[in-house]
Amino acid sequence: MHVSLFLPIALAFSLSACSDQVEDTRPGQPVKMRQTAFKEMLRVFEPMGTMLRDGKYDAGKFEALATDLISKRHGPWGNFGPDTHYPPTKARPEVWTNLAQFNEGKVAFLKSTDALLAAAQSKDLKRVTTAYFTVYDHCQSCHKEFKTK
């Protein structure tokens, strides 16, 4: 099991890292849009982790959050158009130079959120925990390759 990963969850995604000084002045603000969309995913995703970490699994609440994550999971991707690597982005250039791998990571992430919702609907804590950390791993592995710190 991934029990040893429980603590790093809250630390790994810090919203405090998002206080950018540089403004996105481009039309449509694609960088700002995708960053906001990621933050919205995090706001749903993090409380699920907190629930599991604190041993306070509430099947109804968890399922509502998993459903909410499904509704937010498509938010960022349409804002990674060509020629959108500019400040204040935290994306690495590899998003565009290694687009096939980036897209693979995205598809794997999307699939894992389907599995998370199915697990949440089963209300089986063990299944929920495994599914949650699988999604978590997809967030992390993409950030490792494609996001600066």
Rounded Cα–Cα distance for residues 42 and 38 (Å)? 6
Q: Residue 10: count other Cβ atoms within 10 Å of its Cβ.
A: 12
Our finding on whether 64 is near ligand HEC (CB under 6 A) is no
Assess contact for 42 and 13: CB atoms under 8 A. yes
Q: Which are the contacts of 139, defined by CB distance < 8 A and separation ≥ 6?
A: 13, 45, 109
Our finding on whether 66 is near ligand HEC (CB under 6 A) is no
b/e code 88-106 from CB counts within 10 Å (16+ = b): ebbbbeebbeeeeebeebb
Alpha-helical regions (H) of the chain: 6-12, 30-53, 59-72, 94-97, 99-122, 125-146
Our finding on whether 65 is near ligand HEC (CB under 6 A) is no
Our finding on whether 34 is near ligand HEC (CB under 6 A) is yes
Among the listed ranges 33-41, 48-56, 58-66, 124-132, the one in contact with ligand HEC (CB under 6 A) is: 33-41
Instruction: Figure out which of the listed residues 9, 24, 35, 116 binds ligand HEC, where binding follows CB under 6 A.
Output: 35
Instruction: Figure out which of the listed residues 91, 119, 120, 131 binds ligand HEC, where binding follows CB under 6 A.
Output: 91
Instruction: Figure out which of the listed residues 2, 53, 61, 90 binds ligand HEC, where binding follows CB under 6 A.
Output: 90
Among the listed ranges 21-29, 34-42, 53-61, 121-129, the one in contact with ligand HEC (CB under 6 A) is: 34-42
Residue 45 or 133: the one with the smaller Cβ distance to ligand HEC is 45
Q: Enumerate binding residues for ligand HEC (CB under 6 A).
A: 13, 18, 31, 34-35, 38-39, 41-42, 45, 89-91, 95, 102, 105-106, 109, 135, 138-139, 142-143, 146-147
